[in-house]
Structure 1
Amino acid sequence: MLSKSRKKSRLDPPMVVPAEQAANVFPSARYFQIHFEYLQEQLQLILRNQEVLQQQILQLENQLSRSTQDIRLNSKTLSPLDRLTANRNATKDSDTPNLNLTGGR
Structure 2
Amino acid sequence: MWGRVRESGAGLFNALRTEAKTGREVRSHNLFEAAAAHVAACAEDDQERIEETAGWVSPEALSFGVNELACRAVIALARERDESPRTVARALLGLPTA
* Rg larger for: 1
- Normalized per residue, the structure richer in strand is 2
Q: TM-score range by the shorter chain?
A: under 0.3
